[in-house]
Amino acid sequence: MVEKAITLAKGQDPNAPNLSGIEHSMKVAQFSQDQLIADLKQVDADGQPKIKGRARQIILDDIEKAEKYLSDLEKEKQKVIAGQSNWERMQEDIEKFTAWCLNAKETYLNATYEEKRRALRMLGIQVFIYREDDKTHDRYQIMVKMPDIVSHTS
């Protein structure tokens, strides 16, 4: 089951479709905004703007809304990119964990602290160690939850 979960977790970046959709929306919004600006720049034979009064104000408002929408999309894009970084780190952890598992039988006794922590995290095991003089907790507490990699098998 863990092997299947690892194989599935090493699949395609789940953030890629989100980033693609955001970038497409940004292109559409930018094109729309550019078109509105071009409409505003049109002038008649006398050099006067073709769009005047209330219609001009509506277009200016639409340009402002498009600018805010683009700003919101950019913020969302940055969040997705941050998510991609997390996903890439998870991929690195999975690779290291897989390599460690293949050699763990022979090398467990010599494993580094970081390798042991990674193994516990990948298996969904959390260990809390409390101070010896802490009277409200046992010396340590071990919790097990379904690891993130197993959620990919559902």
Query: Could you tell me the pTM of the whole model?
Result: 0.54
pLDDT band with cut points at 50, 70 and 90 for residue 66 = very high
Look-up of token digits 């516990």: 120
* Percentage of residues of the chain with pLDDT beyond 90: 34
Whether residue 120 has pLDDT greater than 60: yes
As a whole number, mean pLDDT of residues 52-70 equals: 93
Please count the structural domains in the chain.
1
Q: How far apart are CA 9 and CA 66, in angstroms?
A: 37
Strand stretches in 49-151, DSSP E: 125-129, 140-144
Contact 33, 66 (CB under 8 A): yes
Q: How far apart are CA 96 and CA 10, in angstroms?
A: 12
Whether residue 152 has pLDDT greater than 50: no
Average pLDDT, the chain: 83
Q: How far apart are CA 43 and CA 118, in angstroms?
A: 66
Owning domain of residue 64: 2-151
